[in-house]
Chains A and B, each alone.
Chain A
Amino acid sequence: MKTKKILPWIIPIVLLITWQVSSSIGILSNRVLPNPLDIFTAGVDLFKSGQLVSDVWTSTKRAFVGFLIGGGIGFALGLVNGISRISESLLDSSIQMIRNIPHLALLPIVILWFGIGEEAKLFLVALGTFFPIYLNTYHGIRSVDPSLIEMAYVYELKGFSLFWHVIFPAALPSILVGVRFALGITWVTLIVAETIAADSGIGYMAMNAREFMQLDVVILSILLYALLGKLSDVMAKLAEKQFLKWHPSHQK
Chain B
Amino acid sequence: MATIQPIIDLSNIRKEFDGNEVLKSIDLQVNRGEFIAVVGKSGCGKSTLLRIMAGLEAHNSGTLVVNGKELKGRNDLAKIMFQDGRLLPWKKVYDNVALGLKKEAQKEQIDKVLKQVGLADRASSWPSELSGGQKQRVALARALIHEPELLLLDEPLGALDALTRLEMHELIEELWSEKQLTAILVTHDVEEAVALANRVILIEEGKIVLEVPVRLPYPRHRDHPLFTKLVSQILNKIMGSKRRGNPTEAASASLPAMEW
A contact residues vs B (CB 8 Å cutoff): 147-148, 150-157, 165-166, 169-170, 172, 245-248, 251
Contact = CB atoms under 8 A, between A and B. Distances in A.
Contacts of B82: 147, 151
Nearest to B101: A155
A215 B56 CA distance: 70
Interface residues of B, number: 22
Interface stretch (B23-31, B84-92, B200-208): B84-92
B91 A251 contact: no
B39 interface: no
A44 to B, nearest CB: 47
Contacts of A169: 88, 90-91
17 contacts: A147-B82, A148-B86, A150-B56, A151-B86, A154-B74, A154-B79, A154-B80, A155-B146, A156-B74, A157-B100, A166-B88, A172-B90, A246-B91, A246-B127, A246-B128, A247-B89, A251-B129
A151 B126 CA distance: 18
Contacts of B54: 154
Interface of B: 54, 56, 74, 76, 79-80, 82, 84, 86, 88-92, 99-100, 126-129, 142, 146
A246 B90 CA distance: 5
A110 B82 CA distance: 56
Contacts of B84: 147
A248 B91 contact: no
Most buried by A among B56, B91, B99: B99
A165 B80 contact: no
A246 B89 contact: yes
Contacts of A152: 99-100
Contact of B126 (A153, A155, A245): A245
A157 B86 contact: no
A interface majority secondary structure: helix
Given A154-B56, A154-B74, A157-B99, A165 B91 contact: yes
Contacts of A148: 86, 88
A172 B56 CA distance: 27
Nearest to A172: B90
B80 to A, nearest CB: 6
A248 B126 CA distance: 9
Contacts of A172: 90
Contacts of A246: 89-92, 126-128
A164 to B, nearest CB: 11
Contacts of B99: 152, 155, 157, 165
Nearest to B146: A155
Given A154-B80, A246-B126, A147 B86 contact: yes
A166 B74 CA distance: 19
Contacts of A150: 56, 86
Interface centre among B74, B90, B99 (most CB of A within 10 A): B90
Nearest to B85: A151
Nearest to B79: A154
Given A154-B79, A246-B91, 11 more contacts: A150-B56, A152-B99, A153-B56, A154-B74, A155-B100, A155-B142, A155-B146, A156-B76, A169-B88, A246-B127, A247-B89
Contact of A251 (B74, B86, B128): B128
A151 B74 CA distance: 12
A143 to B, nearest CB: 14
Contacts of B74: 153-154, 156
Nearest to A173: B90
A247 B129 CA distance: 10
B134 to A, nearest CB: 15
Given A153-B74, A154-B80, A165 B88 contact: yes
A37 B195 CA distance: 80
A152 B100 CA distance: 8
A52 to B, nearest CB: 42
Nearest to B75: A154
A198 B18 CA distance: 63
B99 to A, nearest CB: 5
Nearest to A161: B100
B135 to A, nearest CB: 13
A165 to B, nearest CB: 7
A170 B90 CA distance: 8
B74 to A, nearest CB: 7
A247 B126 CA distance: 9
Top-9 shortest CB links A-B:
A155-B100, A151-B86, A169-B90, A246-B90, A248-B128, A246-B126, A155-B99, A156-B100, A246-B89
A32 to B, nearest CB: 53
